Structures are given as structure tokens and as C-alpha cells.
Amino acid sequence: MRLRHGVSLAAVWPALAVCAALLPSGCATMAGGQDGPVIRAKDKVAPALVHIRPVKEVFAGGKKTEMLAVGSGFIISPDGYVVTNEHVAGESSSVQCVLSDHREVGAKVVGTDADTDIAVLKLDTTDRLPCVKMGRSANLNAGQTVLALGSPHGLARSVSKGIVSVTDRYLGDEGQMISPYNDWIQTDAAINPGNSGGPLVNIKGEVVGVNARILNGAESVGFAIPIDVAREVVDAIIRDGKVHRSWIGVTFQEMMAKTDDPSQLGVVISDVERLSPATEAGVKPGDVLVAINGHPVNARFEEQLPVVRKAVADLPVGSTAVLSVRRGEEKVDVSVKTEEKIAQKGSQAEFGEWGFTASEVTPEIARRAQLPERTGILVSGANPGGIAARAGLQEGDIILKIDDQKVNDLEAFKALYKERRDAQKKLTMLFVQRGALTRFVLVNAAPEAAQPEEEKNGHAE
């Protein structure tokens, strides 16, 4: 028998027989060749992968409770520093980590940053540990192969493969600000609940992002924090325990919101907070910021806003910055002294004897309540039947004074509360703001006041 082009089957049969004999191992070799770079990339990072089990503090109904959560992280140094998300490790009473060799190790929360959703842990061990190599997210391109590692739905040491869909996805600030200082890496590598805090890895085995979010109702749409952003935050947390950022009290909007003329450069100042350095300096809503300390700024589209916000945040805290603004046809230079930015999420505390929980008054809360200054504490819940609830304290109240002493912040209230609790003081007068009105709330902590009326009258069943 002859094949096409006159080649005899007898001539090629020995070669075909050899191929047939090698086919099973040959197929495996070919598959290994295709998947080899992916497997090598995974193998470089997997030993540093961490399964995180934080015990989260939850404040609800005037009580503090605890719940077990699940997340992911990765070791960045041989002495045991771990990167994860703030929403994984923040507000935790304790954190346990399971390493790649199945050892369970406790960890301390070194610091968190809600504005970038980054947290740093320190493993409680003296052993030298495997750690990842960080890449550069600035070098990413759409279409590149990436791996998402972590613990989706608690399934530890899982790997998914996909590509970078977009390198600079802007997620906006609907409701709470999600990412004021960065755009996101969008990927179709599977990211599910539990993957949060795990590494996004390029084909070289370098970490290029921190897996953080999913798009509800969508498939194959996940988001990671660029590692260039995360690295800067991690370094600050390890060095100082927190990230120091400047604040002047302005809200920016893209130029497209005001003009369709592409030659009009700058960024629109859409709002100026009352209690802010910008207000004191005379900055007005509608001004167009064109330069900071002589450096031009421009945000024609909303995805360019994070760069402008970060330019303000990166100014030295307490320094004087010159803002060049365009006000109508006039150009004005305004000197603004920066303040340290307060975290958007205030810490919370439980006041068990009175039966309520409270949080710090953040700048956003102060603005919405139209407080003349950022003082007091926000009641986040009152336990029904507790002393505070019976006195009339409600969720949403802002406690401004306690026995005519000004409440500057949560720590100040804790100290004043402790004094009265330790002295077994029966009556305490609170001055609170509820909505636009102020009122007095008399707290009666006497033991007999805590008894239901039927018990006092001897009718308890």
C-alpha cells in the first residue's frame, strides 16, 4: 500500500510503531511541556501560602460577639511576616494560620489599612520560613497568564488559572470608598470567598497582586490589589504599625463631569468638608485643581482619580501645600496645611455593664451629623432590656458629653465610663445628639433599677 506523495506504508511503519509504543508517555510529556511553566510558577509560591482562620469581633444589638472566618495570605519574609486583606484579619481577637506543611501557628496583627484593604500579620514562630518573590504589577499586560492561590470556601492550597482581563479597573466609590488610591487588576482566574488575601501570581512565580474581591452575580470576574500598591502599604505597616496619609478635606470628580473639552486639564473639586484644612484655606466646590506644589494633576476620566487622591495623601502630614486652582477665568494659588487622615472605619468597643456598643466618630460621620467638630462617640447598638436602652439611648445617637465632661473620642469615653463603673456611680447624665436635635439621657446603673418591674413587685413567674 502506498500513501499520498508516493511514500510506502512499509517504509514508515517502523516509525509509526515506535510512536505508538511511546504514545502514553509521549502524551504526558507533551502535556507536561504545556503546563510546566504553570506548575513551576505554582511550586515557587505554594510553600509560602497560608490558610488564615481569624476570630472576628462582631458588634451587633449592643453586644460584642465572635465568629470564625476563613481567608488566605502569603509569607513575604523568612521571619514570618504575612500579607492578607484587612477585611480578613481586621477587627480580630485572635488569628490562627495553617502553613503549607500543615503546622498551625498563631499570628499577631501588626497593622491594617482599610483604604487599601491590606493587613500584615507576624507568625508566632522563630523558624525560618519559605517566602514569595514579589514582582511588579506595573509590568502586567491584559492577556497575561496568572494564577490565583488561596482557600476558596475554606478549601486550602487551591490554585486556579486565568488571564489578566484588565490592569486598571476602576471600581468607584459607591457607598463606601472601595479603592481611593488604586485601580484594580481584573482577572478571570477563579476567585471565591476564602481566596481573599491570597496571591495573584504571574507565570514567573512572582506575586503581582493580592486577591480581594469578586463581582456578585458574575462568573470569572475577580479583582486583586496591585502588588505595587500593597508593597508600599506593607512597608509602612511593618515600619510604623500604620500608614500615615495627608488629608485636606476635598472630594474630587473627573473633568468629564464638568466639560467635554479635552483641552481643559485638571480635576474638579466637587465638595469641601466644613471642618477641613481646605475650607480654612478658602477652597471652594467647583474649583478646578490644576497643580499641587507646581506638579500638574489631571483626571479627565474617573479611573484617573486615584492618582490625584494619592498625590494629596502622599504629602507630608502637617506640611503646607500650594494648590493651584482655576476658579472661573481666574487662576488662584491656595496654601493648605495638611492634617493626618483618619481611618474611614472607626474602632468599636463594648460597654457591657450598660449594655451598648459604640464606635469612633469618623470624619464622614461628623460631616453627615453636621457636628461643629469631630468629637463624641457613635452608639452602634443598644441591648434591649439593658441599662442604656432603658435610659433611652438608641443606635445612631452621638454621645457628646458625660456628666458635663466633653467626650473627645472613644478612648476618652472608655476612661470616663471606667471611672463611673469602678465607683459604682448610680446616676450618669449623657448629652447626646440624635439627628439634628440634642437631648439628655439619664443612665441609672443602680442594681434595683436593673430589675424588671414584676420582680420588684414580687410577681415574677
pLDDT tens, residue by residue, 373-396: 788 999 999 999 899 999 999 999
The answer to whether residue 456 is domain-embedded is no
Backbone angles phi, psi at 86, to 5 degrees: -65, -40
Which of 283, 313, 340 finishes a domain? 340
Which of 308, 340, 372 finishes a domain? 340
Total count of domains within the chain: 4
Instruction: Tell whether 8 and 142 lie within a shared domain.
Output: no
Instruction: Give the integer Cα–Cα distance in Å for 327 and 324.
Output: 10
Q: Is the pTM of this model over 0.85?
A: no
Instruction: Tell whether 30 and 124 lie within a shared domain.
Output: no
Instruction: Give the integer Cα–Cα distance in Å for 186 and 184.
Output: 6
Instruction: Tell whether 109 and 231 lie within a shared domain.
Output: yes
| Residue 196 known to be catalytic | yes
| Residue 5 known to be catalytic | no
From the list 51, 87, 324, 359, the catalytic residue is 87
Instruction: Tell whether 264 and 234 lie within a shared domain.
Output: no
Inter-residue contact 445 to 425 (CB < 8 Å)? yes
For residue 451, name the pLDDT band (cuts at 50, 70, 90): low
Q: Rounded mean pLDDT of 394-405? A: 95
Query: Which has the closest alpha carbon to 185: 160, 218, 219, 208?
Result: 208
pLDDT of residue 28: 39
Instruction: Tell whether 374 and 333 lie within a shared domain.
Output: no
Please tell me what DSSP assigns to residue 409.
Answer: S
Instruction: Tell whether 298 and 434 lie within a shared domain.
Output: no
From the list 196, 276, 324, 380, the catalytic residue is 196
The answer to whether residue 182 is domain-embedded is yes
Instruction: Please determine, for residue 23, whether its predicted confidence score (pLDDT) is greater than 50.
Output: no
For residue 15, name the pLDDT band (cuts at 50, 70, 90): very low
For the chain, give the mean pLDDT: 88
208 by DSSP, 3-state: which?
Answer: strand
Listed range (24-28, 86-90, 112-116) with the worst mean pLDDT = 24-28
Instruction: Tell whether 229 and 95 lie within a shared domain.
Output: yes
Instruction: Tell whether 261 and 287 lie within a shared domain.
Output: yes
Instruction: Give the integer Cα–Cα distance in Å for 124 and 84.
Output: 16
Summarised one tens digit per residue, pLDDT across range 172-203 is 754 444 678 989 999 999 999 999 999 999 99
Inter-residue contact 75 to 50 (CB < 8 Å)? yes
Query: Which has the closest alpha carbon to 361: 317, 400, 417?
Result: 400
From the list 51, 113, 115, 117, the catalytic residue is 117
Summarised one tens digit per residue, pLDDT across range 326-377 is 998 899 999 999 999 987 777 889 999 999 999 998 877 887 888 887 889 9
Instruction: Tell whether 75 and 110 lie within a shared domain.
Output: yes
Biggest alpha carbon distance in the chain?
Answer: 113
Query: Which has the closest alpha carbon to 137: 167, 182, 180?
Result: 167
Which has more confidence, 450 or 222?
Answer: 222
Q: Rounded mean pLDDT of 11-17? A: 41
Backbone angles phi, psi at 26, to 5 degrees: -65, -40
| Residue 51 known to be catalytic | no
Q: Rounded mean pLDDT of 276-284? A: 94
Instruction: Please determine, for residue 47, whether its predicted confidence score (pLDDT) is greater than 90.
Output: yes
Range of the domain at 414: 348-450
